[in-house]
Amino acid sequence: MQSFLKKSFGFFQKLSKVLMIPFTFLPVAAILLGLSYWLSSYQNIANILNLAGSTIISLLPLIFIVAITYNFNKDKDVTVVIVGLIAYIIFVLASNNFFNVDFSSHLLAILLAFLVNFLYSNFKKIRMPSFLAFFEGKIFAVILTILTVFTLAFPVGFIFKYLNALIIKIGLQLATHKIISPFIFGVTSRLLIPTGLHHIWHNLFWFDTLGVNAMPNYLLGIGNTNYLAGFYLIMVFALPAAGIAMIHTARPENKKRVRVLMTSAILSSMLFGITEPLEFSFLLVSPLLLIFHAIMTGIALVLLNLFNIIIGFSFSAGLFDFLIILKNPINDLSSLIYLIPLGLIYALIYYFVFRILINKLNLATPGRSEKTIDEPKDNNIIAKKMLAGLGGKDNIVSLDYCATRLRLVVKDNHLINETILKDNGALSVLQAGKNIQVVIGPQVSRLASLIDKKFIKTKFKMPMDGIYQDISKTPDEMFQAGLLGPGFVISPVNGNVYSPINGKISMIYPTKHAIGISSKKGFDILIHYGLETVDLKGEGFEVLVNVGDDVKIGDLIMKVDLDLLLMKQIETMSPVVFLQKENITILKQKDNVFTIEVS
């Protein structure tokens, strides 16, 4: 049972991340539609902007298809995405024409995407007799998947006709509710934040999975904002006030640094509605504050509905969203005057409740422990230490991220070191078996990129026999300054040059004194035998490989007449450069083979 729950969490963690993808397109639609509302007096321009924004919203089902088919396909096969798009269009056209009902819903797109992925993944494994071999594999999978979906369009369409009618009925009921269902939605939204599964919950109401479709309808100037407006009280007023309370309750020696951290988190919430840096400062140290926050969120939604304050958003309820869609014709601008006094009341409630509970219960919010808060570190250092906290690069099976958190699958969850992760900026670490979430904040994409690409561990063998030093010891100023990248300089004792890595020969200089090798791990090495050897115009150099050849560590790739260089009094110190990299760290050495980390 426990294994099933862990696998289920892994699936829903992935689904939650994938369902965020359509959200990334809504701000673009909001900007276009918002501009069309602001420029309504310029009719032609406004019409073009409105058409562009509306088109993005109308394509949301196709975006769901692409997101799910691609991300849930183990091989990341683009073919399945194309099949998914074609299958969806065929299904919708066939069903719509036969039953005269519009089936272009987000729920249908989500279900169909999983069906297509299942069919394609299984059909492509089928093998045919030799005379039909052309049709096996992907071709057979494409044909059978599309034909199966087309065939299913009629019986499923018949069932979905009534299901769709039920969804529309439920959606209309939910959309018009002002108290109970918005309250439940708001409370559940916040309670799910620690799990990272709140995006699935949001999808049910903000899109038309349950027929509510709150966000697209609002952007198009129809419907209402029963499930949207109240979040402005939380993100612009309440949580920033909680952040101020946490600054005021920090220990004196930590206040300055807590103020720096909290100011960034407060601005993220107020301007862009990104709340997790603030929420994870308290919700895991105090279930009481989490419950208070969840209930107050539910009340906020109800409160703004009762005051008939109509204002929505495209991504999250920050001031940036507010200004973009302020001119939406559905907005009742006269009712917005109540937003500020209600927000200030919420801010005062949050400030005093947080301040009192933090002090009375001695809660370990930022800056409350005796341990001083470290100064912010360089992003490269943070990424390196985060990688260590995750058990090293070899422990990571897959790494992805959403708006504020890293989402990983690891080989061994016992190698996860939460202390290291939290000491380097993680707000929280959530584990369910091998599925890991590390809550970072809005800077997560930058950090994910550094962790995923920056640090490469590889085997390396010095390409020449001799004494090696850091490249800064070379007399050549260009190499010495590291303008081409970090590396080593070798004083060779013979003329043999070997491949230092597994890779491919990418360049041979016309005068043969320099060879470039591309590693299979994504970096390039330049081996430059001697200094000013270009003047020899190839004399004394014999290259044993060609551009495009694959080479392995230790393969002999060049022979040099070292005696000739010495006779001509040419400097034999030979730079070995990791091109366009920043740093090399030797992790360990066994015999003449090094394990190095390239960044």
Average pLDDT over residues 527-534: 86
The whole-number pLDDT of residue 135 equals: 66
Residue type, 405: R
Which of 106, 293, 513, 528 is catalytic? The answer is 528
Instruction: Give me the chain's average pLDDT, please.
Output: 82
The pLDDT value recorded for residue 289 is 92
The pLDDT tens digits of the residues spanning 9-37 come to 667 767 777 777 877 787 888 888 888 88
Question: How many domains does the structure of the chain reveal?
Answer: 2
DSSP codes of every residue in 539-595:
TTEEE---TT-EE-TT-EEEEE-HHHHHHTT----EEEEETT---EEEEEEETTEEE
Is 264 domain-assigned?
Answer: no
Give Rg (Cα) of the chain: 30
Task: Give me the pLDDT at residue 404, please.
Answer: 74
For residue 528, with 0-12 CB atoms within 10 Å meaning exposed, 13-18 middle and 19 or more buried, which class applies? buried
Is the confidence at residue 210, as pLDDT, over 90? no
In this predicted structure, the answer to whether residue 119 has a pLDDT above a threshold of 80 is: yes
Provide the pLDDT for residue 452. Answer: 66
In the predicted structure, residue 333 carries a pLDDT above the cut 90: no
pLDDT tens digits along 38-89 = 888 888 898 898 889 888 888 888 888 888 888 888 777 788 888 889 888 8
Is 513 labeled as catalytic in the residue annotation? no
What is d(CA 423, CA 432) in angstroms, rounded to the nearest whole number?
21
Q: End of a domain among 408, 432, 454?
A: 454
Please state, in angstroms and rounded to a whole number, the distance separating the CA atoms of residues 86 and 150.
10
Euclidean distance between CA atoms 139 and 141, whole angstroms: 5
Q: Name the helix (H) or strand (E) containing 101.
A: none
The share of the chain scoring above pLDDT 90, in percent, equals: 13
Q: pLDDT tens digits, residue range 366-388?
A: 887 765 555 556 677 777 788 88
Domain containing residue 493: CATH number: 2.70.70.10
Query: What's the pLDDT band for 236 if we cut at 50, 70, 90?
Result: very high
Residue 385, classed as helix, strand or coil, is: helix
Between residues 108 and 188, which one has the greater pLDDT? 188
Q: Are residues 435 and 527 in the same domain?
A: no
pLDDT at residue 513 above 80?
yes
User: Under a CB-based contact definition with an 8 Å cutoff, are residues 210 and 167 in contact?
Assistant: yes
For residue 505, give its domain range.
457-598
Do 569 and 487 share a structural domain?
yes
Catalytic residue check, 528 = yes
Q: For the segment 441-483, what is each residue's pLDDT rounded down to a tens digit? A: 777 777 777 776 555 667 788 888 888 888 888 888 888 787 7
Domain finish residue from 454, 472, 505:
454
Q: Can you tell me the mean pLDDT for 562-571?
A: 87
**151 pLDDT more than 90:** no
Is the same domain home to 465 and 440? Answer: no
448 and 515 together in one domain: no
pLDDT tens per residue across span 238-295: 999 999 999 999 888 888 888 888 888 899 889 988 888 888 888 877 889 999 999 9
Q: Which of 177, 199, 402, 513 is catalytic?
A: 402
413 and 526 part of one domain: no
Say yes or no: 418 and 550 in one domain: no
